[in-house]
Structure 1
């Protein structure tokens, strides 16, 4: 048997089963392509946690959009790499938007402090301290913690809004709050 044909056969079988909704094929695709997706994300984002999030988002998007996969247009690998590129671009754009928003909020907070001079309230100081310490979080943690604190959203609401699984949301928020606590205790 030709080695190329052998390699294509099982991959084509996995792709067909994946497109048909076979969860075992999803597991095989993740096993085969997960390391590639993770590496691409890590190289682009420079953060292991963000790469893990992107990997999870890619396979979730691929599974949800499996009806859009067409084997005549290319391989499952190429299709998933294409999704990966889009998710990475979205993550980078989100990072930029969050950084812009954080800078704008920090400028407003600083202006507020200058306006009040030496009479700033404890609440304003706490907000500035939290904003400054939030820069130590990963972009995903910063976004989810911000949605919790400033958006007053529940974990379930954040999960629906972001499309991330509830367990992932809870883990990121918990790790984010632990990191904030450590930074704030260290600076106290």
Structure 2
């Protein structure tokens, strides 16, 4: 046997938001308190989904509710429901906060990039590097052909002494001697102390 329960009397429903907002438009603080109780939770939920940060979400929710208090008279009932009006306001405010945070981060990044001072003078470093390379080239030109080829193959191309000897069709001992003599001449030309 099943039991049927009948509800008697009027069924309880939420407050009429349009009516509450109309009262808020006339400065009714009690009506605003009741409106706040109904809409603040959904506003916070929407803002939190956009911002993800709980403290910023609370801040934006308070800004939205303050905006509802100040602009209640602008609400036009024929253009939509109160909850939609408030949530649209909340979404716009949350998106504005995201854009503002991104613009601030971009601005800070640009300022940091402009104010970045390298640990060394890049131009001087490049000039010095070019001068050193030119000096090495000049000193290499002072070597004999066999010395220059052996040093270039071994030190700039990474070949072993045996590979250099094979490539130059010269005995290994000769290549080693020419390389040693070539390196000594390079050291002296470059002014490197041993």
**TM-score bracket relative to the smaller structure:** 0.5 to 0.7
Number of residues of Structure 1 aligned to a counterpart in Structure 2: 114
Distance 1:31 1:116 in 2: 62
Q: Runs in 1 of length 4+ with deviation above 3 angstroms? A: 6-10, 113-117
Distance 1:92 1:109 in 2: 26
C-alpha RMSD of the superposition: 2.3
Judge conservation of contact 2:21–2:72 (CA < 8 Å) in 1. no
How far the C-alpha of 1:25 sits from its partner, in A, is: 1.5
Distance 1:30 1:116 in 2: 60
Kindly indicate whether residue 104 of structure 2 is the aligned counterpart of residue 98 of structure 1: yes
1:19-168 residue pairs with structure 2 within 5 A? 19-110=25-116, 112-114=117-119
Change in CA separation of 1:83 and 1:113 when aligned onto 2, cut-off 3 Å: same
Judge conservation of contact 2:51–2:98 (CA < 8 Å) in 1. yes
Q: Which runs of 5+ in 1 are unaligned?
A: 118-188
Partner SS for 2:95 = helix
TM-score, with structure 1 as normaliser: 0.54
Q: Which runs of 5+ in 2 are unaligned?
A: 1-8, 123-194
Matched residue, 1:157: none
Distance 2:121 2:65 in 1: 50
Change in CA separation of 1:7 and 1:115 when aligned onto 2, cut-off 3 Å: farther
Deviations 1:114-157 (A, max 9, x none): 4679xxxxxxxxxxxxxxxxxxxxxxxxxxxxxxxxxxxxxxxx
Judge conservation of contact 1:58–1:87 (CA < 8 Å) in 2. yes
TM-score, with structure 2 as normaliser: 0.52
More helix by share: 1
